Amino acid sequence: MELLKLVIVDDEPILLQGLIKTYDWSGMGFQVAGTAQSGEQAIQVIKEVKPHVVLTDIRMKQITGLMVMEEIQKTDLECLFIVLSAYRDFDYAQQACDLGAFAYLLKPIEDEKLQETMQGAYKTCVEKMKNEAKYESWENLLVKDSNSFLQVVVQKYVQNRIPQERVEEVFKTLEDVPGNGQRFITVCVEIDLAYKITNSLEYEASRFALIKLLEEVIGAAFFYWKIEGDEGDAFIIRTEDKGAVRKLKSLLEHVKKNEQSPVVASISKPYKGVEGIRRSYLEARRLLEMASMSGASALTASEDVEVPLAEETGGDNDALVVNAVRRNNTKELKEAFIHLIYSLPSDEEKQCRCLQQVMLKTEFMLQESYGLTEAIEEKFRKYYYNLENLSGAKTVDVCYKILCSAVEERMKAAQKMETKYFKEYMSEAMTYIDEHLQDEDLSIVSVAAHVYLNPVYFGRVFKNMCHMTFKKYLMQQRMEKAKKLLESGNGSIGEICDAVGIYNPSYFSHLFKQYTGKLPSEYKKEYEG
């Protein structure tokens, strides 16, 4: 075990020596690297030694332990403070916590409590040191392979998963800040989704060939980052060529001539700066969406035309609808569908085409995940077959009903899958609950951790399988155990409280009466001789 540096501070010499000599600091992972008998001396020692942890008394003459913490925080030193006090003073504890103290211990120190606190401090320090080492390794990797790293950063940035400020920091770190002469242009090219319905076997092969061809022809002429996503791939070009848009149009014409399948494409206007990366991407995505809806094979925008971006018009309504179905959320689906309806163009033919795009995307999502039963698939087929005979209003009604049916089927399928795959998990969880009812800290978090599941997900599966919340089940088990103990006549009320993990007798009596309608003493009398 690597020993970390510890500084101990107390203005009482006898107490200070007691702290140094009484405890097995090395056994807890520390070496006493410095001591101080005043706040002033403590500040000086901490600055010289640079310890990982400082154990300090709060109440000292002139400069208190809290003042020491405040002074060290003004420096670039980073160490954990564990504060001691002989007074049960909540204000001191609160101030120490406000200043970021790792722990607050009362004198005389309980050996077990000190051991637990120091182990926690050691673990925190070691974890921090590991993270710092990872960060240093990350920086080295960043410098060695900057292009690959930027590819990841740019993708997350345009998908709104990293703020612009962070991206600008990365460019500065790499000393690669976009110059005034550089522009960013995004190209989006996709096989028409409708082609997947009529030629599903050829669709994926055609799309793969298209992307490979684009990588070849665009890469030969420009530097680019390829952005992959659910809505198709995009190429963000970084260039100083003022004629880049014209050249890209020519390249796309070449690509379209070589493709047998229907190609839909868009090119953004050129934009400057880091903010221009995302602006060009959103514009190209919006143009591709408009091209798909209108049936155009390609769309670009002239310099004097302002393209409304998806974000500025309330978000990608298609994606909102598809994601609501993906999450099996009927309320979210209703809200997303209303947003979609209000965003539809006034032309009825275009309205129907917009809704068709949403239905296509939803069906593909169902194919790739679950919930596309024969009945739902048949509803999609009938919708496509009768598309030309449906009015705008009727199309809206039909689409919404199909989407709602899809959500219902996915919810049924999800519950069946959860019951099938997590039956053993729930059995293990219930056994663990029964064996730890006496633990006051037993919670959904601790039980979920025991069976290696996310607490939120565990809670949902638990409720679906047990038909009650975890909290209600835990209380039920505790009360049933309490009833059995009272019926057997073994143990006092206090002992029963301990056995069911509710250590406050008054609170236990209140809960027991709520559960049974009787106080524990009344319930016990019914089973006495």
Q: What pTM value is reported for the model?
A: 0.40
Phi/psi at 308 (nearest 5 deg)? Answer: -70, 125
Closest CA to 426 of 391, 399, 460: 460
Residue 501 is predicted with a pLDDT of: 93
467, part of any domain: yes
SS3 per-residue string spanning 444-476: HHHHHHHCCCCHHHHHHHHHHHHCCCHHHHHHH
430, part of any domain: no
Looking at the structure of the chain, the number of domains it has is 4
Between the alpha carbon of residue 130 and those of residues 27, 88, 97, 133, the distances in Å are 21, 36, 25, 5
Cα–Cα distance for residue pair 232/191, rounded to 1 Å: 9
Q: Judge if 165 and 120 occupy the same domain.
A: no
CATH number of the structural domain spanning residue 113: 3.40.50.2300
197, part of any domain: yes
Q: Judge if 174 and 128 occupy the same domain.
A: no
Cα–Cα distance for residue pair 155/179, rounded to 1 Å: 20
Q: Judge if 330 and 451 occupy the same domain.
A: no
Residue 298 is predicted with a pLDDT of: 54
Q: Judge if 135 and 173 occupy the same domain.
A: no
- Choose one of 414, 445, 477: the last residue of a domain: 414
Residue 63, judged by CB atoms within 10 A of its CB (0-12, 13-18, 19+), counts as middle
Closest CA to 309 of 287, 331, 330: 287
Q: Judge if 287 and 155 occupy the same domain.
A: yes
Residue with tokens 């509710």: 502
Helix (H) or strand (E) holding 498: helix 493-499
Residue 491 is predicted with a pLDDT of: 80
Q: Judge if 194 and 273 occupy the same domain.
A: yes
- Choose one of 139, 156, 189: the last residue of a domain: 139
Q: Judge if 297 and 336 occupy the same domain.
A: no
Residue 314 is predicted with a pLDDT of: 36
Ramachandran area for residue 489 (φ above 0: left; ψ -120 to 50: alpha; else beta): left
Residue 421 is predicted with a pLDDT of: 53
422, part of any domain: no
Give CA torsion, residues 435, 437, 441, 446, to 10 deg.
Answer: 40
CATH number of the structural domain spanning residue 222: 3.30.70.270
> Cβ atoms within 10 A of the Cβ of 139, count?
11
Residue 108 is predicted with a pLDDT of: 81
CATH number of the structural domain spanning residue 463: 1.10.10.60
> Per-residue b/e over 229-242, b at no fewer than 16 CB within 10 Å?
eebbbbbbbbbebe
Residue 448 is predicted with a pLDDT of: 86
What residues are paired with 190 via a beta bridge?
264
Q: Judge if 18 and 101 occupy the same domain.
A: yes
Q: Judge if 219 and 127 occupy the same domain.
A: no
486, part of any domain: yes
> In which domain, by residue range, is 275 found?
147-310
Q: Judge if 254 and 134 occupy the same domain.
A: no
- Choose one of 414, 449, 476: the last residue of a domain: 414
Q: Judge if 122 and 155 occupy the same domain.
A: no
Cα–Cα distance for residue pair 397/248, rounded to 1 Å: 41
Q: Judge if 321 and 305 occupy the same domain.
A: no
User: Is 68 within 8 Å of 39 (Cβ atoms)?
Assistant: yes
170, part of any domain: yes
Cα–Cα distance for residue pair 252/244, rounded to 1 Å: 12
426, part of any domain: no
Q: Please list the pLDDT of the chain residue by residue as tens digits (529 residues).
A: 689 999 999 988 888 998 999 899 999 999 999 999 999 999 999 999 999 999 998 888 888 888 898 899 888 888 999 988 876 555 666 676 777 788 888 888 888 889 999 999 999 999 888 877 776 666 565 555 566 778 888 888 888 778 888 889 888 877 788 988 899 999 988 877 666 656 666 777 888 888 888 888 899 999 999 988 656 689 999 999 989 988 988 888 887 777 666 777 888 999 999 999 999 998 888 788 766 654 445 556 556 555 555 443 334 678 889 888 988 888 889 988 888 887 787 777 778 888 888 898 898 888 877 888 999 999 998 998 888 888 877 888 899 999 999 999 988 887 776 666 567 778 888 999 999 999 999 999 999 888 767 787 788 788 878 888 999 999 999 999 999 999 888 788 889 999 999 989 999 999 999 999 999 988 888 877 5
429, part of any domain: no
Q: Please confirm whether the linkage preceding 520 is cis (ω < 30° from 0).
A: no
Instruction: List helix spans (H) across 222-329.
Output: 244-258, 273-294, 317-326
